[in-house]
Structure 1
Amino acid sequence: MKKALITGANKDIGFETARALLQHGYYVYLGSRNLENGKAAVEKLKAVGLDQVEAIMLDVTDEQSVQNARETIGSKTDMLDVLVNNAGINGGFPQSSLEAGIEQYKKVFDTNLYGVIRVTQFFIDLLKKSTEPRIVNVSSSGSSLTLHSDPTWKYYSHKAALYQSSKAALNMYTIDLAYQLKDTSFKVNAVCNILLPSMVPS
């Protein structure tokens, strides 16, 4: 049975990703910053017959938490097939490039970029033991430099300096990571979260 770890998986995209992987026969480690929320999500999945899942406490902004999660999962399995770096925050609105403070930027980048790096680096050894390892980073078309430079794009006026800059940086990290692993069995991709309404200012 293939095994997957999903960060921020107790709700929204992460939860639905967990559901989909379970339906495809994966065993899922459901990462959640709040363990009780993670356990509640697991119970929802088990209630519909998806029982190859367990909650793992994992705060991507806390290196000790990531290390603890690695040790916990490592005590249960010696291999991980899929890592979905889903945990992310939008940073709240409005988001002005001139008015948002450095601390606001740090908070968003700590989750959306540095959190991905932390988790990837801590779990890369387990992933390397899979015959078909996959790393998926959840990003957004809302971070596209090309689209946001095009006045004809329908979301051109929806600027969110914190969120979009952090996801643009994540896209570059994903490209660099894929390049570093290009001569291995890894596949590394970014996927779009389809500009969920919660990500776009009204």
Structure 2
Amino acid sequence: MQMLFVLMLSIGLMNHVIIIPVLLEIAGRNAWISTVIGLILLVMFLPLVYFPIKQSQQTHIFQWLKENTGAPIAYFIASVTCIYLLIVSIVTLKDTTIMISLFEIFKEAGMRLPIAIGQTLSVVGGLIIGQAAINAGLSGPGTLVVMATSVIATFTLANQSLAGTVSILRFIVLAASSMLGLFGFVASMFFVLIYVANLTSFV
């Protein structure tokens, strides 16, 4: 059942965060019709979810599929699910890498300008280019918000010479999280904490 809930969560985030807001914006005043239709489909879908949960008796979903549908179908469904989740993680990694790279380019350009203009250029320019990337389909709006917050947070560093190190650590955490999921995120954060704890100050 764990894989089923992960799949449902992934589909829900993909639909409600990326697809549905765009559809509602395009529909305008008639957006309520799609909401009603979606609610009807949800009510019809709930029994389809409840039935396998009730029949499986909280056993592992792959084992339940193997016992009830046979090994070939179970392996096929497991393969399709793994491929789908892999594609979702790759797309998220691609979107996040594009946005981080854009913000880093603008931040490096802003460092070579006067302070007031440079900081404004690095944030506002990144947001404008990020919006253009969203309109071009290269990234999602949620990715832009997360990356903008991450880049703006680097301006709170007491010593701006650490900005380069933070950028490298950001890529490490991103790569570990995209490949290993929540475990990768926790492991990378432990790595960052151990790295920071072992730093020696020469001041």
Q: Which structure has greater helix proportion?
A: 2
Could you say which structure has the greater relative contact order, defined with CA pairs below 8 angstroms and 6 or more residues apart? Answer: 1
Q: Which structure has greater strand proportion?
A: 1
State TM-score, norm by structure 2: 0.24
State TM-score, norm by structure 1: 0.24
